[in-house]
Amino acid sequence: MMLQIGDQFDHFQINAHLAQGGMSDIYTARDLLTGNEVVLKIPNQMVSHDPALRERFQRELQVMKILNHPAVQKGLGSGHFNRMPYLVTELVEGRSLRDWITHEAPIPPEQALPIFKKAAEGIAYCHDHEVVHRDLKPENILVTRSGQPVILDFGLALTREGRRVTFANVTATPGTPDYMAPEQIEGQRGDPRTDQYALGTILYEMLSGKTPFTGDNPMAVLSQHLAGVLPRLDKEAPGISPQLAAVVAKSLQKNPDDRYATVRDFIQALDHPEQADLSLLKESSPEGTGIPFFRSPIFMVTAAGLIILLAVIVVIVVLSQTARVP
């Protein structure tokens, strides 16, 4: 049951309901012990009944305990109340990167790059601590009035100790289609280069006002990530140099081995675009990651659904014919 303004949950008094995510209800609350305003994440009913989602919530609890960086939302603590786990994080006053892109993109490089590089430094810090976010998108980045980006939502984060979550009620390809790397779509767990791909997509969107791969539905977008030719950023956005376009293009290579070795290498390349490999801007057929689309989980799930649908249609037809026999 959703908490109401003024309700008390453990030693927190609810101020407002911020959002309802796939795993949690998120509130602003006042800590009655300290008087501080905080964010309270409480698992929803789906989590309590789904072992995979419960595992992911527990993973976020673990991740927030080990990260401490200006570009990462701070975890302040966790606890249990009425046998329900909860997470307490800092309250970040800021504007979402999604809102900024929606209202102001394309954003000039001199404005976009300083913010982006701070966010990328935060992700590099996460990688130093063996945490891969795996769900980077503009909605998960807030920008404060001082220009400090803060990365949120580590519910899909991968840690070295974290076991793979493959329960039936959870998709085999966690993430958001517009920002998913090809290896994620193919069912691989992902690594720091997977976050780099999402960062490259975000920067492309900041500079051009649109993501590099689009489609009429999520399946079409995923297919473009796997096999589509990357549109040249300098052709899609005014004022973008071929050198900067090539830097972004390298972060968006289909094969993870063809991207920068680390996110810090990506940042360094942004600082020295004159060293970029302009051959990356050639519009040729992209090299994939080695797993054909017909073997990917997305294709298999779709094919299985079509087979089931066809079987149901056949059964209906047979039954209707049988019913007509005198």
Tens of pLDDT along 249-298?
999 999 999 999 999 999 999 999 999 999 999 754 445 444 444 445 55
- 118 and 75 inside one domain: no
| Distance of alpha carbon 174 from alpha carbon 153, whole angstroms | 13
- 134 and 240 inside one domain: yes
Say what the pLDDT of residue 19 is.
Answer: 86
pTM, to two decimals: 0.82
Neighbouring CB atoms inside 10 A of 245's CB total 25
Say what the pLDDT of residue 310 is.
Answer: 75
When mean pLDDT is compared across 194-203, 217-226, 287-296, the lowest value belongs to: 287-296
Tens of pLDDT along 97-121?
999 999 999 999 999 999 999 999 9
Q: 28 or 83: whose pLDDT is higher?
A: 28
22 pLDDT band, cuts 50/70/90, is low
- 211 and 286 inside one domain: yes
Residue 59 lies in a domain: yes
- 138 and 228 inside one domain: yes
- 37 and 159 inside one domain: no
Residue 2 lies in a domain: no
Say what the pLDDT of residue 285 is.
Answer: 41
Residues 44/52, Cβ–Cβ less than 8 Å:
no
- 86 and 220 inside one domain: no
Q: What percent of the chain has pLDDT over 90?
A: 65
Of 63, 90, 117, the domain-final residue: 90
Say what the pLDDT of residue 185 is.
Answer: 94
Q: Which domain holds residue 243?
A: 95-295
Residue 196 has pLDDT above 90, yes or no: yes
Q: Which residues pair with 77 in a beta bridge?
A: 88
Residue 173 has pLDDT above 60, yes or no: no
Residue 85 lies in a domain: yes
CATH number of the domain within which 142 lies: 1.10.510.10
Neighbouring CB atoms inside 10 A of 47's CB total 23
Q: How many structural domains comprise the chain? A: 3
- 119 and 233 inside one domain: yes
Residue 81 has pLDDT above 70, yes or no: yes
- 140 and 240 inside one domain: yes
Q: What percent of the chain has pLDDT over 70?
A: 81
Say what the pLDDT of residue 325 is.
Answer: 55
Residue 220 lies in a domain: yes
Residue 229 has pLDDT above 90, yes or no: yes
- 286 and 307 inside one domain: no
Say what the pLDDT of residue 301 is.
Answer: 53
Say what the pLDDT of residue 275 is.
Answer: 96
173-186: burial string, b at 16+ Cβ within 10 Å, e else: bbbbbbbbbbbbbb
| Distance of alpha carbon 55 from alpha carbon 85, whole angstroms | 12
Say what the pLDDT of residue 48 is.
Answer: 63
Of 69, 90, 111, the domain-final residue: 90
- 142 and 63 inside one domain: no
- 139 and 100 inside one domain: yes
Mean pLDDT for 28-41 is 96
**Exactly one of 10, 25, 135, 234 is catalytic; which is it?**
135
- 54 and 99 inside one domain: no
Known active-site residue 135: yes
Q: 47 or 35: whose pLDDT is higher?
A: 35
